[in-house]
Amino acid sequence: MGEELITDTIRKIVDDSRVAGAATLVWQDGKVIQTAGVGCRDIASKLHYQRRGTHYSASHQ
């Protein structure tokens, strides 16, 4: 799955108002291969996700 496909998929989820925002990081073989931040991390303050920031994280394997 390419980096653009991941970002575009997340952007569609945000645009469809299913979530306010999301950040992704894909790590494989000890290397970061994809990062993205789409939408808002704080709706009230209208703060957008940024590459460098602190986020809640979850893992799915």
CA–CA separation, 18 vs 29, rounded Å? 31
CA–CA separation, 41 vs 25, rounded Å? 15
Q: What are the boundaries of each domain within the chain?
A: 3-48
What three-state secondary structure class fits 33?
A: strand
Identify the DSSP state of 42.
E
Residue 58 scores a pLDDT above 80: no
How much is the mean pLDDT over the chain? 82
**Which tokens belong to 40?**
């808002």
> What is the tens place of the pLDDT at every residue in 17-38?
888 888 888 889 999 888 888 8
